[in-house]
Amino acid sequence: DSGVTQTPKHLITATGQRVTLRCSPRSGDLSVYWYQQSLDQGLQFLIQYYNGEERAKGNILERFSAQQFPDLHSELNLSSLELGDSALYFCASSVGSGQGLSSYGYTFGSGTRLTVV
Amino acid sequence: AQSVAQPEDQVNVAEGNPLTVKCTYSVSGNPYLFWYVQYPNRGLQFLLKYITGDNLVKGSYGFEAEFNKSQTSFHLKKPSALVSDSALYFCAVRVVHGSGNTGKLIFGQGTTLQVKP
């Protein structure tokens, strides 16, 4: 157990639907990062939150949004789902956002496998 | 643009032989470099990192990596491969720009390591 918890582990949904993926960071970590892993695109950075505030944005579609709550857990919302959104979505956490990097860099959760049918 | 390249999709070695998984990077500023390993249906696990100091970095499970600034490379190595080392390996870089640092990691496409008995 890495200490980063992602739920659900698997999700199957139809095109056009909306889903929410949840991430609880490792205790003491303030930063949460979301990544999408697909066969053709590899690991793509989506978005980062630090202590409740958006800190960096990557290749995140407008149909996707995220937030980090006061208890530091984060949710990634995916809407108007398309077949191409099928992927493994990872959450990672770290102590800080800037210079403060934990010994392990980032700690990753085990991911949520999203299948859009 | 900042990028990380892993030129080999797959590396095959025999058990007991040395292994090398290649990684090159292109960044502006000082790179923080990481190697992660991913086993099937699992999240990414930290292996080792280079921040500063000795160019040879030792990490988990007997792995090490050599930072070469002139060649902008950070190859992962192990003197004697085990069948259990078979997995997907990712090189990643985080760029430190002082106050501009966001903390996000840029990943290579990944290299599948296959160790045969």
Confidence of residue B95 (pLDDT cuts 50, 70, 90): low
pLDDT of B51 over the 90 cut: no
A5 at interface of B, judged by CB pairs closer than 8 A = no
Contacts of B42 (CB under 8 A, 6+ apart): A110, A111
Question: Do residues A12 and A117 lie in contact, with contact meaning Cβ atoms separated by under 8 Å?
Answer: yes
Q: What pLDDT, in 10s, does the model give residues B56-74?
A: 999 989 999 999 999 999 9
Mean pLDDT of the region A85-112: 79
Please tell me the distance in Å from A108's CA to the nearest CA on chain B: 6
pLDDT of A19 over the 90 cut: yes
Query: Could you give the 3-state DSSP secondary structure of residue B52?
Result: coil
Contacts of A43 in chain B (CB under 8 A): 90, 107, 110
A42 at interface of B, judged by CB pairs closer than 8 A = yes
Contacts of A112 in chain B (CB under 8 A): none
Question: Do residues A87 and A21 lie in contact, with contact meaning Cβ atoms separated by under 8 Å?
Answer: no
Contacts of A31 in chain B (CB under 8 A): 103
pLDDT of A98 over the 60 cut: no
